[in-house]
Structure 1
Amino acid sequence: MAQLLTLEEFSGMLRNLYQGPLENIPWTTFLDQLKHCLSSKYATFILRPPSQHVDGLSVNTAGSSEAVTASYNQHFYNLDPFVGLPNRQVITLAEFVADTDWLNSEFYKNFLEPVDVFHILGADINTSDGAQCRIRISRSKGDPPFDQRDKDLLTLLLPHLEQAVVLHMHLNRVESERNLYAGAVDQLAVGTIILDQDGKVLQKNRLAEQLLAEKDGIKLVNEGLQVGTARDSQVFRQLVKQALLSQKSCNPSVVEAMRVQRPSGRADLGIIVRSVPPSAWSEGKQCPSVVIFISDPEQESSAPQEIVKALFDLTPAEAQLAMLLANGLTLDEASDALGISRNTARAHLRSTFSKTGVTRQTMLVRLILRSVATLG
């Protein structure tokens, strides 16, 4: 029987439920609390039911093992009779399957009886945008069966669980898009750093982390950025200040640029500062306010050779030469690097010109660096 909850306790459960999508393993806190409230052995939330093509994705309370989950995904899901429940309706196993059929089923005898599970309370949630979720609460054979109070508690939570799933799906889409765009920027060899409304660093991509670690023209000091000389830093702070003012006043995005000399003598860094268009509902200090783009001329193009080869129908030797030229080598330097004669390099280059439709080496470099190959 479900424990009687105070309003404060029920509010705490809802808080954990909506916090669930932000946990490293979603909803573990809520499921543990639900397991305790329903005096059950396990609580399992199946985010993606298994099929012949993909494994299921489920979250379990402490006490259930990965081996049991893998066994269900690989074999027993086909035998599970407690599936296909009416949408958004809480049902006990006893209402769905007769006790004799349950006790004699292979699923019970070979999968659940060994882990001492007999009583199950569950519900299926099929959202409007295609998610199919299942929640299952289980008890041992010696425990009392689930009653109406247990069903009522889960019924109260079900609409909130569905809404939390919708939020989880939305956050996953946003995260996937962010990772995709961040990966594309990484491939283009552009460092990106996002600042908050106080000019503190919120986020940075892989290349930006590398440049900050080198401390050669740009470095991190007290969560803020310091660039070049004292004069460079002064100019940079002013550009960031202008971008922040533009962002706060909702003016069109300000874009400013500057070059920064590096103490090592390597090529100057190019820096662009621009304000981030605010969301109408953005609040708090953790909102992106300014983005910094950093160009390092000494970063080699990251276009994979195999993609360049396939994209322009080049031979392996032609693709190797083209990539060396794209990374700034002269024809003589490239032929030395490849261990071939200058005449052979010139023959590869003529063949590459013919295949790509360009007539000069600079045009070839521009074609490669502006192609989708750099996103591969």
Structure 2
Amino acid sequence: MNAEGTLADRLYEAALVPELWTETCERIALEAGSSTASIFTVDGSGNHRYVTTPNIAEAFAQFVQSDARLDNVRPLRAMQRSPFSFVRVTDLLSAEEFANDAIQRDIIEPHGMQWEAGWAFQEPTGHVIVITLMRAKGLTHFSDEQLARLDLLKPDIARAAYMSSRLAFNEARSMTETLSMLGLPAAVIGDAGRAIAMNPEMETLSPRIRTGAGDRLILEGVGANALLEEAIEHYKAQAAPAVQSLPMAGRAGAPPLILHLLPVRRAARDIFSRSMAVLAVTQVGQVGPPDMRVLCGLFDLTPAEARVARAIAMAQTPEMIAASLGISLETARSHLKKIMLKTGTTRQAELVLLLSGLNAPNFSGGGRPEP
């Protein structure tokens, strides 16, 4: 198998297994005779996500935190001037622009790199995907032959990126469909704070919960809406955000609600997934122990942990749980610690409040699954 075929295969494998993107970048760099290779995405709000060869990771971390990313003209010019091929950055910037370029001066050169080439394209979701390569100081610039070899990979890079994005969207839709089967209204919130998938149960809550301009979720009531916005901003800023539960006051003919914001666990290398959190809604005032399927589906609890969680919601102590379930007190406490970790709670009282109302939903067919 030739080199292009081998690398093309790896691109499609990485589309399915995001953990392979770093190794794939290394393969791209080797194929191109480059010192580095990186792939980053930019959404409509200017949020950057990237994967790169380890030798330039520190520079990219600096780049996405700097103001220089806001003035980066490379992707737009590449799409305008060279939409069908890889291009040298020196062909995108004038000599004066290159000499005064903050990215080149403050980020690229201090990390031992000198020459840069890349390709940018916009996928159907509107996100811009950029593949950029750099050569170290002391080496010559990218040759026409090297760029031509990279151009042979463009169709596979584009298809792999689109495949990753489509799989990520299907995953988000699957999350809401799963919670729909449990009777829970749910929406998946993306990195930009927008609803990227919503099940029919959530849609029936409109206008109490609806989407507005830019597909942003809007809650009825200024207070509740402010709490949601604050929680979403907190999620954006945290590498490992915890579960948050937000109250929403009732009104005539409609009960109060609890909104559970649950972080989506995704691979750090999955730069194409835009799912940040799942918003699931339960009613206040429902009675009965939490449904096992809801507990497992919402918080990724094991069956054993779900049984302990149900008992906690029924105000049982660890000693009572151990006796009723026929397990040791140490095991009951171990399960409780894992439950609190997965639900993002720090006190048992918080856990009881969080689980309030998570009883088995009513199904229109008249049947009700066994807990």
Relative contact order higher in (CA < 8 Å, ≥ 6 apart): 2
- Greater C-alpha radius of gyration: 1
Query: TM-score w.r.t. structure 2 length?
Result: 0.49
